[in-house]
Amino acid sequence: MSLKLETERLNLQPFNKEDASRIKELANNKELATILGLPHPYELELAEEWIAIQPKQIQKGLEYPLTIVTKKKNEIVRTITLRVS
């Protein structure tokens, strides 16, 4: 399944294995960890494991985890998960 949403400034798209280090950077924030219930420090292995399970989530049609990428810098700035209930 190919899922990509686009705005004038952003692309929302599924994660790739190569995104793990950037996800580690974004998630390795103590305040964010407290709010979202993430482990802190957030290790690279956790990001890799999380990314690895996402295709199954998307295939089930219940959850769509996506990166938010700026077109200008082609950099992940945030993530979002769309859930279907």
Amino acid 2: pLDDT: 64
Amino acid 57: pLDDT: 87
Q: Set out the domains of the chain in order of their start, with CATH numbers.
A: 5-83 (3.40.630.30)
Q: What are phi and psi of 42, to 5 degrees?
A: -90, 115
* Residue pLDDT tens, the chain, 85 long: 567 889 999 999 999 999 999 999 999 999 988 998 999 999 999 999 999 999 998 899 889 999 999 999 999 999 999 998 8
Q: How far is CA 51 from CA 17, 23, 35, in A?
A: 7, 9, 20
Predicted TM-score (pTM) of this structure = 0.83
